[in-house]
């Protein structure tokens, strides 16, 4: 049995699908603060399987204790947390309180109930932008984060590592994601951001579907082939498969293991926009605006450790990411509220 925290969210819901398809039993907890109960129904629709779901806050130690006592999970995949970079700068204390308290509450429950394996949803934001060259390896310098969201991921990595060191036989896999995009090929689950999207691809899709008038491209004077920022985009279903591989790895490899999940290739903002337009035969109007503070020119992964330890690498192309995203957006113009 695997406990999935934040399992109704974007990456969590896709991972639940892959876990169920791989034969795992799951129990999901999510407070639905930035996700939707409909995602839970649709995971069942896609997989043909049902599973227990609890709408609860991970910071609620008593509620978590009851779930752990009832289901006795062997492993936790920890997605739950606030995740908007820009918002974290505006309300930092809320981010620190929620993202760190939820993790410490979870670790205490793991100690109490003898749960020895945790897969943590970390991020490339833990790397120090100013101090590293590309591609980023797991040995690249971390810290010096540019926003409170990134700092909460960095701190949680440290807290989890310390808990693993203090508990015999524990294992943690810290998965450092780059830029997940796309949606499940069924078009039933996908990213459903509240308000104006923070990330490029949901923004592109909402412009394409007519919800937003145009895309704002933040900066075209970077030292990149076309002047726009370069990032490592990977399909969310590839990312989800990486979690299934991490569960298997954690079972027989105690200790803490930080692992990048990315394609190893950088793609610029305008390349993404052009690919989306070509793959879906639709125009996406855009205009160039000022750079965002804290953004860097280029960021992409060296994913070779994931291939070596997990036997994982991405298989889906940028075209597939764009087609799958558009299918989800077209079928669900208002996300799960459609």
Contacts for 29 with CB less than 8 Å, ≥ 6 apart: 3, 4, 5, 6, 7, 53, 54, 55, 56, 58, 63, 64, 67, 80
Q: What is the mean pLDDT of the chain?
A: 96
CATH superfamily of 2-183+233-263+300-314: NAD(P)-binding Rossmann-like Domain (3.40.50.720)
Q: What is the pLDDT of residue 275?
A: 98
DSSP 24: -
Residue 332: pLDDT over 90: yes
CA separation, residue 163 to residues 31, 115, 136, 284 (Å): 25, 12, 26, 47
| Band (13; pLDDT cuts 50, 70, 90) | very high
What's the average model confidence in pLDDT over 249-253?
Answer: 98
The mean-pLDDT minimum among 39-43, 231-235, 288-292 falls in 288-292
**CA gap 223, 1 in Å, rounded:** 48
Q: What is the pLDDT of residue 317?
A: 98
What's the average model confidence in pLDDT over 118-130?
Answer: 95
| Band (293; pLDDT cuts 50, 70, 90) | confident
Q: What is the pLDDT of residue 35?
A: 95
Q: What is the pLDDT of residue 223?
A: 95
pTM of the model: 0.97
Residue 130: pLDDT over 90: no
Contacts for 238 with CB less than 8 Å, ≥ 6 apart: 314, 315, 316
Residue 288: pLDDT over 90: yes
**CA gap 178, 237 in Å, rounded:** 14
Q: For the chain, what are the domain ranges?
A: 2-183+233-263+300-314
Q: What is the pLDDT of residue 267?
A: 98
The residues that bridge with 11 in the sheet, in sequence order, are none
Q: What is the pLDDT of residue 189?
A: 98
pLDDT, tens only, 21-71: 999 999 999 999 999 999 999 999 999 999 999 999 999 999 999 999 999
What's the average model confidence in pLDDT over 211-235?
Answer: 96
Q: What is the pLDDT of residue 294?
A: 73
CA separation, residue 20 to residues 107, 162, 191, 294 (Å): 24, 31, 20, 38
How many Cβ atoms from other residues are within 10 Å of residue 143's Cβ? 12
Pair 240, 316: CB distance under 8 Å: no
Q: What is the pLDDT of residue 196?
A: 78
Residue 338: pLDDT over 80: no
Catalytic center residues: 149
**CA gap 273, 276 in Å, rounded:** 5
Pair 103, 159: CB distance under 8 Å: yes
Q: What is the pLDDT of residue 25?
A: 98
Indicate the SS3 state at residue 35.
Answer: coil
CA separation, residue 129 to residues 30, 223, 227, 266, 296 (Å): 32, 15, 18, 15, 7
Q: What is the pLDDT of residue 108?
A: 98
């Amino acid at each position: 049995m695997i406990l999935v925290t934040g399992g109704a969210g974007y990456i969590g819901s896709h991972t639940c699908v892959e876990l169920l398809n791989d034969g795992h039993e799951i129990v999901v907890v999510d407070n639905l603060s930035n996700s939707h109960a409909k995602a839970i129904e649709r995971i069942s629709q896609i997989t043909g399987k049902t599973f227990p779901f609890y709408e609860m806050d991970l910071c609620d130690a008593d509620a978590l204790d009851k779930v752990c006592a009832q289901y006795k999970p062997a492993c936790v995949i920890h997605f739950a947390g606030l995740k908007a970079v820009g918002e974290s700068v505006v309300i930092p204390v809320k981010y620190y309180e929620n993202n760190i308290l939820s993790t410490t509450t979870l670790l205490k429950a793991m100690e109490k109930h003898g749960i020895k394996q945790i897969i943590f949803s970390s991020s490339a934001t833990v790397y120090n932008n100013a101090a590293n060259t590309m591609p980023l390896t797991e040995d690249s310098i971390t810290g010096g984060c540019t926003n409170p969201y990134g700092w909460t991921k960095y701190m949680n990595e440290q807290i989890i590592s310390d808990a693993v060191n203090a508990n015999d036989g524990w294992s943690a896999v810290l998965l450092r994601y780059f830029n997940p995009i796309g949606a499940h090929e069924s078009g039933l689950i996908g990213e459903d951001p509240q308000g104006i999207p923070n990330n490029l691809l949901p923004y592109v899709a909402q412009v394409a579907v007519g919800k937003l008038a145009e895309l704002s491209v933040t900066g075209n004077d970077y030292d990149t082939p076309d002047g726009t920022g370069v990032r490592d985009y990977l399909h969310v279903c590839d990312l989800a498969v990486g979690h299934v591989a991490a569960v298997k790895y954690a079972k027989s490899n105690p200790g803490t293991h930080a692992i990048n999940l990315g394609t190893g290739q950088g793609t610029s903002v305008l390349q993404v926009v052009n690919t989306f337009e070509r793959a879906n035969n639709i125009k996406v109007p855009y205009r160039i605006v000022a750079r965002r503070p804290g953004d860097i020119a280029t960021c992409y992964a060296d994913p070779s450790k994931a291939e070596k330890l997990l036997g994982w690498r991405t298989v889906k192309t940028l075209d597939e990411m764009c087609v799958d995203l558009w299918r989800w957006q077209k079928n669900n113009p208002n996300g799960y509220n459609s």
